[in-house]
Amino acid sequence: MNNQSELAYMQIKEKILAGGLLPGARLVEQALSEELGVNRGDVRQSLARLCAEGLADRGEKGGYFVKTLTEKDVREIYEIRHILETSAVPLIMERATEADYAELEAIAGHMQLMAEHGYTLGVCEADLKFHKALMKATHNDKLLDLYKHANIPISGVYGMKYEINRVIAGTMDDVNEHKMIIEHLKHKNISDVIVLLGKGYPHP
């Protein structure tokens, strides 16, 4: 994959993960080529890679679409994420630096600002960044890569979650829980962190 194809891949993936491209949306090669300033061949390579990662599907009559996840898909992805995050807590407590905590606090602050203004997509994006920053604080590159790959197919699930829960009070509760996670990590309260991490996941 060349540099232009890699650039296209990253930008399309980010739009899907942030909810900018919703499940079922058609991924039009020509439109994406013009928007990203790359040729259609690069876009095509990117879309094929996104299919392999579970972010997109190829239609029966051709073309690519943002993958629509079933409830079972969502549950299983959340279960994988929860297992990885809770298993990572001891490593985070042992290895997290002041810079790691500063990054988490900055993201939580941005999440609060987005929630106060009712910007649900902004809350969504901040939530994704927060959990990724948590895993980054393990300082285990292999674990972070595993987490990123497990998280890829979630695509618009966060967007759907926050579209359903538009009430700002509910969103603010979520913001407060993220801030509490940081405090409990600092004070080595492992059981409290694990409980809070579990609140962010759907249960059958």
Tell me the residue range of the domain where 30 lies: 3-66
Which domain CATH number covers 8? 1.10.10.10
Which pLDDT score is estimated for 173?
Answer: 81
Q: Quick one: which of 202, 135, 204, 200 has its CA closest to 174?
A: 200
Residue pair 194/83 in contact by the 8 Å Cβ criterion: no
27 and 100 together in one domain = no
103 and 183 together in one domain = yes
**C-alpha separations of 9 from 36, 145, 168, 201 in Å:** 10, 17, 33, 28
Provide the CB-side half-sphere exposure for 19 (13 A, CA): 18
160 and 104 together in one domain = yes
Is-above-0.85 flag for pTM? no
Q: Using CB atoms within 10 A of its CB, is residue 193 exposed (0-12), middle (13-18) or buried (19+)?
A: buried
Instruction: Judge whether 128 lies within some domain.
Output: yes
Mean pLDDT, range 127-133, rounded to an integer: 90
Instruction: Judge whether 131 lies within some domain.
Output: yes
33 and 120 together in one domain = no
CA distance 153 to 54: 5
Instruction: Judge whether 204 lies within some domain.
Output: no
> Total structural domains in the chain?
2
Question: What is the chain's Cα-based Rg?
Answer: 18
Identify the domain boundary among 66, 99, 115: 66
- For 151-201, write each residue's pLDDT tens digit: 666 545 444 453 344 334 457 788 899 999 999 999 999 999 999 998 866
Instruction: Judge whether 108 lies within some domain.
Output: yes
Mean pLDDT, range 88-92, rounded to an integer: 98
What is the number of other CB atoms lying within 10 angstroms of the CB of residue 72?
8
Which domain CATH number covers 93? 1.20.120.530
The structure tokens 């285990």 sit at: 140
Instruction: Judge whether 77 lies within some domain.
Output: yes
58 and 135 together in one domain = no
